[in-house]
Amino acid sequence: MTAIGKEAMETMEKVPEDKLSSAIQVMQGVNGFLEAFGAKPEQKVDLDQFVMSETDRGREADAYIRELRDNDRL
């Protein structure tokens, strides 16, 4: 079991008996929400798609920093 799974189990063990049904409904709602948007636990996101190539990054870095400064975001 992963550390996050263990933490989830420990958290559920702390829930009082009379509140378990509510906690289970919340978890089922979260699972339904994730399924509605197509998220699957085994699905991995390719983070490389968000990274510019080195040449693009070098060319655009100064303009990007300037834009952030001009828009008071840096």
Task: Residue 11: count other Cβ atoms within 10 Å of its Cβ.
Answer: 10
pLDDT tens per residue across span 13-33: 888 888 888 888 888 888 888
Q: pTM score > 0.75 for this model?
A: no
Tell me which residue has tokens 């998220």.
39
Domain that holds residue 23: 3-36
Express as a percent the part of the chain with pLDDT over 90: 0
* Residue 53 maps to a domain: no
Q: Please tell me the total count of domains within the chain.
A: 1
For residue 62, what pLDDT band results from cuts at 50, 70 and 90?
confident
* Residue 44 maps to a domain: no
